[in-house]
Amino acid sequence: MSDIADRVRKIVVEHLNVDADKVTEKASFIDDLGADSLDQVELVMAFEEEFSVEIPDDAAESIQTFGDAVSFLEKAVK
Amino acid sequence: MFDLSGKRALVTGASGGIGRAIAEKLAEAGATVGLSGTRVNVLEEVANGISGDTHILPCNLSDKDSVDALIPSAVEAMGGLDILVNNAGITRDNIFMRMKDEEWDDVIAVNLTAAFRLSRAAVKVMMKQRYGRIIGITSVVGVTGNPGQGNYAASKAGLIGMSKAIAQEVASRNVTVNTIAPGFIASAMTDELNEKQRDSILATIPTGRLGTADEIAAGAVFLASDEASYVTGQTMHINGGMAMI
């Protein structure tokens, strides 16, 4: 498990108040982790802050699962 | 009565009568106030009349880039943003059949589109800090209509609808969004009315007098306060009873 994945998981766990073991690769923020559309926007804002990156709106919309977020950030943070 | 110590407020149109009164009352309640407008010399004069902490943030609301820069510069100047008062507004009155596209576009751009852009940027800051107050200064005309003001009435009604939509989106994050709808308020413009015009206006106002900018500002201070946490998506009508809605 990469360092980035750990940091993303920590943000998701804290923000959505879910158990860490629920935050799996395929876990959808909205369908599986109880996020609403506002939570999703806030998660993206939190990722931007944690990793000091800009996530454009179209990219943000494509980040639906924990795995999506990790793979986006692994590419963005270099 | 309401304590706004430690709160940071941005007021657009702070050089005008109502905007100035709002800025002064927010500062009196303890807030740090960012004064925005186009006339820097007037903003400086307003700042000089306020004993609290003020910042002058010039902005031309009909210019997109200028609007987009305002919230970031307010946040930088004041170290954050807790209260946004979208007060700036213009009129380009004309009978509807003769209304020019530019008259329509100018009014919508400043009164509605600028408020949209500023609110969008402010909401992001406020959601993150789990606290915020957005107050739009609309008008009784946005609810009742007024001949010669099709563009202005549309912009003010638009502000009310927009505020209700944002209010529903962000209520769970402790951000409230409300509007104040002033009626006839004494200003440089109303001073120029002749006696006959004045009398016919007063005949429509049960209290029998024009309102003051301070009476609008008092409503803004309340909506900006912690005590108003449970008030959101509302329009506060301050109009001497001229329209009871």
E strand intervals along chain B: 8-11, 32-37, 54-58, 83-86, 132-137, 175-182, 235-238
Q: What is the pLDDT of residues B40-81, one digit of tens each?
A: 999 999 999 999 999 999 999 999 999 999 999 999 999 999
CA distance B178 to chain A (A): 20
Cα of B234 to nearest chain A Cα, Å: 22
The minimum CA-CA distance between A4 and chain B, rounded to whole Å, is 22
Cβ A38–B170 below 8 Å, yes or no? yes
| ipTM of the prediction | 0.77
Residue A1 has pLDDT above 70, yes or no: no
- Domains annotated on chain A, with CATH: 3-77 (1.10.1200.10)
- Point out the residue among B128, B169, B172 whose CB comes nearest to the CB of A45: B128
Residue B8 pLDDT greater than 80, yes or no: yes
Give me the pLDDT at residue B191, please. 81
User: Which residues does residue A12 pair with via DSSP β-bridges, in sequence order?
Assistant: none
Active site residue B131: no
DSSP state of B110: I
Q: Which of A38, A49, A54, A57 to mutate to test the interface with B (most CBs of B within 10 A)?
A: A38
What is the pLDDT, as a whole number, of residue B188?
A: 76
3-class DSSP assignment, residue B10: strand
Convert the pLDDT of each residue in A26-43 to its tens digit: 999 999 999 998 999 999
Q: Count of A–B CB contacts within 8 Å?
A: 11
Amino acid at B111: N
Reported residue count of chain B is 245
Q: Please, which residues have CB within 8 angstroms of residue B126's CB and are 6 or more apart in sequence?
A: B81, B82, B132, B133, B134, B170, B173, B175
Q: Kindly report, residue by residue over B192-215, the tens digit of the pLDDT.
A: 888 898 899 899 999 999 999 999
Which residues of A are the active-site residues? 36
Residue of B nearest to A37 (CA): B169
| Burial status of residue B173 (CB atoms within 10 A of its CB: 0-12, 13-18, 19 or more) | middle
**Full-model pTM:** 0.92
- Residues A13-38, mean pLDDT to the nearest whole number: 94
Catalytic residue among B104, B131, B152, B184: B152
Instruction: Please say if the pLDDT value at position B175 is more than 60.
Output: yes
- Average pLDDT over chain B reads 96
Please write the tens of the pLDDT for every residue from B92-123.
999 999 999 999 999 999 999 999 999 999 99
pLDDT tens track for B14-45: 999 999 999 999 999 999 999 999 999 999 99
10 Å Cβ neighbour count for A20?
11
